[in-house]
Amino acid sequence: MSEYSVVGQKLPRVDAVEKVTGAAQYGADVHPAGMLYGKIVRSQHAHANILSIDTSEAEKLPGVRAIITQDDVPSGRRVFATDKVLYLGEPLAAVAATDPDIAEEAAELIKIEYEVLPVVQDVMESIKPSAPRLHGDATKDGPNRRNINAEIKKLADEVDSNSDEIRELEAELEKYADEVYYNISAESHTEAGDVEKGFAESDIVVEDTYFIPRVHQTYMEPHVSVASADSSGKITVWASTQGPFAIRSGIAGTLGIPLTQINVIGTTMGGGFGGRFGVIITHVPAVLLSQKSGRPVRVQMTREEEFLDGRPAPGCVIKLKTGATKDGHILARQALAFWDSGSVSGASIGSTIRVRGVYKIPNIKIDAYGVHTNKSGTAAYRAPGAPQAIFAGESQLDDIAEQIGMDPVKFRLMNMREEGDSVPAGGSEPKVGYKETLEAVADAAGWWDREANDNQGWGVAVGDWTNGCGPGGVYVSVHEDGSARIFHGSMDITGTDTAITQIIAEILTIPYANVTIRRGDTDSAPYSTGSGGSVVTFTMGNTAKLAAEDARRRILELAAERLNTNADDLELRDGAVHIITADPPKSISLGELAAYSLSTTGGPIVGKGSFARQPSTPALAAQIAKVEVDPDTGRTRVLKLVASQDVGFAINPMAVEGQIEGGTVQGYAWAMMEEMQYGENGNINPGFVDYRVPTSADLPTVESVIVEVPAPNGPYGAKGVGEPPITPTLATMANAVRDAIGVRITELPIKPEKVVEALKNNGHGA
């Protein structure tokens, strides 16, 4: 028996009915009177100088109400390209018209003259001196080259620039020409211990290069916003976003508008996965078009536009080297990673450190670079950067286990960090269920007595992630009928409103059905951090707990007054306050107290919770897949997929299982089929015909196993659960395929053609 009655229960989501009946209001359902339809005019080339933009023909088209270019951005912040485009689909202008077809036609009438430039799409090409430079001479040399140049300059300041010393130095630096990278957008370097020494002491050293493609979050609802600027300058934006407050400050900053002149109303989100925080993708163009036309304007992306100008997850190339002793101790690991950040910086290069995993590795060296290519920029996608790095790390671990003849699960268990071990970031390892989670998945999947059948294989991998934390506020009111109403400003993301509701019902001891939740807009609700980084249940759960406890204080105060006793003698249970020692029992219901409160000096029952920061605890996801590979066609069928996760405490186990299943399936898709493909002129699969996401026919039911090792600062011990489950699946799948066919595939996705190729190279077939 659980000590709780509402948290920890598999309760239906608070928004289940509105989702199922279609009553939920998404961005595209918003239609203010007089609304115009916006359309963004996009570059037809992946890399080109813009010679001219001529809007005159489009302006003449009846029904066109506004056309904007970068000239219409008063702050000068880049919203549209002006002199140069860096990717296919980059915005150049936008139109608003009375009808979507007119907007489309007007967009076609805008004449753009291009001077086409050479294109670079591959990071390994982009870092070469011969590659076209995306950002001109300003970034002709990468930061690391700048460091070397700085050295020369420093010396030149000290000595005669024509001296032999300088020439010697230059000659010396020439030797490192291969290590000078171009088109670098950012870099990150980490070192601990001495990897060279570690490799030297290793019995086995494995080295490989891993290729992970760029993938799209493929949320069901494309980006959409409706903006309305009124005559006083007040701006209202209905935004499909994970973070209304972030959008408010983003619009304010981009357009130089005072923060409180903008009200952002978050509409029900059709999926986000980290990709729904962008400000200039649709929100800013909608605001600018509304300001210019004086009418509300909707800007809604098509699926094709999502692929061309969304902000997907970066692909990357990771060179990884690991050394271990023959009895299974990992001694050193070194990574050199090139992340494809597209036209701007922002790829999650820092996540390269996740090749370390949750293992005791004394010597480590990480060098990571963000590299420009002629693609759109990137953004977060469910544990940004972790699936890529962990794919490399966990693939290589299996190869080492194989070489030393050790069971892959036992090898991992042996090397996992334990409570009290020193951690990379400093301090010591908290209590985390690393081993418990891996053991749980191995037991549930039947790992220990798995059979070796022809063409079948078993793969295991683990991935770690730590939830974020951010500010939030919650109010809870108790009404005269004994019900409670929650008011807050955070976007529901896959059941977080449900978790908040459960927590408040638990503390107020009233039935779950008697607690309702309402989200405010940025004008009305207390500030809330964005719904990303697995923060919501951790942050808003703690906030909700504080609010409910605040309300409970007032309830007990009122009851003490009413029952003429001390608050210490009172107990809140089953929706009423009881005098603990009274015989016969004496109590007063919450409804009665709420009614009574209306005529008191202290006033109604309103609990307030406000919370910003507490240290989070890492979470682990461990997965096992069993696959069957057809060696002739290269097609892989998943026979079993089991996923366990240390969730701290499952506030709603049904929602948690949903998260585990969803993340695992997304990881499976990245491993086996998803890939944004690029040709000479940009993305060539901008739609669901050739960008394949799996259907329910591709997978058996994912078996979820919940492990609960409480997080000290989480509400009821809960950790963020959304991101961890995607982190190991790429490697899980690759390891299972490796076990089935006996050949390691290091390039994702593992399409049939690659399997056939790999087997052929290994001597299979004709």
Q: How far apart, in whole angstroms, are the C-alpha atoms of residue 328 and residue 341? A: 36
State which residue, 305 or 340, has the beta carbon closest to another protein: 305
Minimum CB separation of residue 695 from another protein in Å reads 6
- Is 30 strand, coil or helix? coil
672 scored as a contact of another protein (CB under 8 A): yes
Name residue 115's amino acid. Answer: E
Answer for which of 635, 653, 658, 681 binds another protein (CB under 8 A) is: 635
Two structure tokens written together for 336: 């050199």
With CB under 8 A as the contact rule, which of the stretches 57-65, 78-86, 182-190, 751-759 interacts with another protein? 751-759
Pairing of strands 235-239, 316-324: unpaired
Angle between helices 729-741 and 653-672 (to 10 degrees): 50
CA 576 remoteness from chain centre = 42
Minimum gap (Å) between residue 677 Cβ and another protein? 5
Options 171-179, 439-447, 611-619, 688-696: segment touching another protein (CB under 8 A): 688-696
Peptide bond connecting 749 to the previous residue in cis, omega within 30 degrees of 0: yes
- Output b/e per residue, 187-200; b: 16+ Cβ within 10 A: bbeeeeeebeebbe
CA triplet 756, 761, 766: central angle to 5 degrees? 70
Among 75, 325, 422, 677, binds another protein (CB under 8 A): 677
Q: State the burial class of residue 521 (Cβ atoms within 10 Å of its Cβ: 0-12, 13-18, 19+).
A: middle
Q: Judged by CB under 8 A, which of 18, 54, 71, 101 binds another protein? A: 101
For residue 684, the tally of other CB atoms under 10 A from its CB is 14
Neighbours of 215 (CB within 10 A): 24
Say if CB 646 and CB 437 are below 8 A apart. Answer: yes
Query: Residues 71, 158, 230, 690: which binds another protein (CB under 8 A)?
Result: 690
Q: How far, in Å, are 233, 399, 731 from residue 736 at the CA level?
A: 59, 12, 8
Binding piece for another protein, criterion CB under 8 A, among 146-154, 320-328, 330-338, 694-702:
694-702
Q: Is 452 in the site for another protein (CB under 8 A)?
A: no
Q: Does 692 bind another protein (CB under 8 A)?
A: yes
Q: How many CA atoms lie within 13 A of 38 on its CB side?
A: 36
One symbol per residue from 299 to 318: x for binding another protein (CB under 8 A), - otherwise; what is it? Answer: -----x--------------
Q: How far is the CB of 94 from another protein (least distance, A)?
A: 18
**Catalytic residue list contains 723:** yes
Nearest alpha-carbon partner for 534 in 610, 474, 488, 469 = 469
**Interface region with another protein, contact rule CB under 8 A, candidates 48-56, 368-376, 607-615, 686-694:** 686-694
- Compare residues 452 and 689 and give the one whose CB is closer to another protein: 689
Q: Which stretch binds another protein (CB under 8 A): 82-90, 366-374, 603-611, 689-697?
A: 689-697
Choose among 277, 282, 285: nearest CA to 309: 282
Which range, of 20-28, 185-193, 564-572, 747-755, touches another protein by CB under 8 A? Answer: 747-755
Q: Which two tokens stand for residue 557?
A: 């105060």
Q: How far is the CB of 676 from another protein (least distance, A)?
A: 11
- Of positions 480, 614, 752, 764, contacts another protein by CB under 8 A: 752
Among 139, 455, 477, 685, binds another protein (CB under 8 A): 685
Q: State the nearest-atom distance from the C-beta of 108 to another protein, in Å.
A: 9
DSSP state letter for 715? G
Out of 429, 661, 675, 723, the active site residue is: 723
What does the per-residue mask of binding to another protein show for 102-131, with x meaning CB under 8 A? --x---------------------------
Residues that bind another protein (rule: CB under 8 A) add up to a total of 23
Q: Which of the 8 DSSP states describes residue 207?
A: E
Instruction: Report the catalytic residues.
Output: 723
Binding site for another protein (CB under 8 A): 101, 104, 304, 632-633, 635, 672-673, 677, 679, 684-685, 689-690, 692, 694-695, 697-698, 751-753, 756
